Amino acid sequence: MATAVINQFGSTSASEPAFTAYNDLASTKVGGKVLFATDDWFAQAENLLKPEDAQFREGYYTECGKWMDGWETRRKHDEGYNWCIIQLGVPGEIEGLDIDTSYFTGNFAPRCSVQAAWLDNSYKGRDGDRLGTHATSEETTEIEKLHSEDWEFIVSLSELKPGFPKSSHNYFHCSGKKKYTHLRLNIYPDGGVARLRVYGQARRDWSKVSERKIVDLLSALNGGLCLQCSRSNGGGGRNLIQAGRGSSVEDGWVVTPLATRPSVVQFNRDGHMHNAGSEWCVFRLGHPGIVTMVEVDTNNFKGNFPDVCRVEACFLDNSANDLDTNIPKSKWRTLLPVTKLKAHNQHFFYQDQLEKNTGVVSHVRLTVMPDGGVSRFRIWGTKANRAIAKL
């Protein structure tokens, strides 16, 4: 069922299904890679996993034909159909897929299916530029050892729509009850797909994590989720919990100033901007825990970083609904008081700077004032089981 959600760029769309609020487990940003493709003649399969939206270059051609930002095979003139194997960057439970055909209008793949499996071993990705090539007999023989044709179907044979703006996103809901490491995308018989988004969540085996070990409880790699953002421009709250430091201002959460902001900037006695407004993001931790340090990184934001930030936290026993955003105001407790930020800086706030009354937390809210950009947001701490959390 479609509902209004906050997407990865912070804009709300009533046409997007709720599962798009989850993280993309296949993106190259989290280590997703292509292991095999039957054919890469017009455009190579690695494009499927790019984190940015597909682009179109008017009048641009390669030696193989029209340049396209996606995976596009040559026309099929022998038996069978085309397919590729993808290793997820983050193994986990898949809630839904978006098979995006943007800009593939007359040359889109008309039908598809998706299979999935849990494999114990990681496999090396492909090397080099594959444009204008097809799989060699050696590559085909090697990939056949995975017996991918026998993997479970998570999307049965389905029609795809052409890549016009109003029809390019082909959404498929999945059960989300099993964990997978690899996907096989089948297109029948040929054509192009721009992007493959695999929405889901990491399911780390927390039983193997010591209660003394300090981890990033909010990381997408550990199952953290961005549930809501007040607004955004050019980068969504989901970026804040990705691995590594942000690569650019587009790889973060940035909010442009409101036109209604005060004409003259003034400060209160406490040194903070007067009546400047605020923006916020709400997150669910990958596991409830006790916070020992908060990290707010404004990397790459030099002239448009926030003046101050505040972090609040609460505990909710709502494990049955991962995307629950109905959090009463009374639940929130201050974790990090209003604190000044610096440009292009990795800020660490230790226990002596954090409030002591938060206890075990499952959700956090980052508020920046008045606006600006943040690259990464980390909640470092130790795990706590739910029995302790309830007490």
**Tens digit of each residue's pLDDT (9 = 90 or more) over 268-281:** 777 777 667 899 99
pLDDT single digits (tens) 216-264 = 999 999 999 999 999 887 668 999 999 999 999 989 999 988 877 777 8
State how far the Cα of 290 lies from the Cα of 302, in Å rounded to an integer: 32
Please say whether the beta carbons of 95 and 130 come within 8 A. Answer: no
User: Cα separations (Å) of 298 from 64, 153, 348, 360?
Assistant: 42, 42, 11, 27
Query: Distance between CA 94 and CA 175 in Å, rounded?
Result: 7
More confident residue, 294 or 317: 294
* Same fold flag, 5-202 and 206-390: yes
DSSP-derived secondary structure letter, 391: -
Residue 36: both structure tokens together: 């095999």
Q: Nearest 10 degrees: CA dihedral of 127, 130, 136, 142?
A: 40
The 10 Å Cβ neighbour count of residue 223 is: 24
SS3 for 217? coil
- Residue 387 — φ and ψ, nearest 5°? -65, -45
pTM, 2 dp = 0.87
Write down the CATH number for the domain with range 206-390. Answer: 2.60.120.260
pLDDT in tens, 334-386: 999 999 999 999 999 999 999 988 899 999 999 999 999 999 999 999 999 75
**β-strand partners of 173:** 96
**Residues in the chain, overall count:** 391
State the pLDDT at residue 16. Answer: 86
φ, ψ at 144 (rounded to 5°): -65, -20
Sequence-ordered list of residues with C-beta below 8 angstroms from that of 348, at least 6 positions apart, any chain: 293, 294, 295
Domain locations in the chain as residue ranges: 5-202, 206-390
* CA–CA distances in Å: residue 121 to residues 146, 204, 205: 11, 17, 17
- Give residue for tokens 């049955």: 320
Strand pairing partners for 373?
254
Fill in the DSSP letter of residue 263: S
* Cβ contact 190:112 at 8 Å: no
125 versus 5: the higher-pLDDT residue is 125
pLDDT over 60 at 13, yes or no: no
Q: How far apart are the first and last CA of the chain?
A: 36
d(CA 221, CA 2): 26
Name the phi and psi angles at 190, rounded to 5.
-160, -170
Pick among 3.40.1260.10, 2.60.120.260, 2.60.40.420, 3.20.20.150: CATH of 5-202: 2.60.120.260
Handedness of CA 123, 127, 132, 135 (dihedral sign): negative
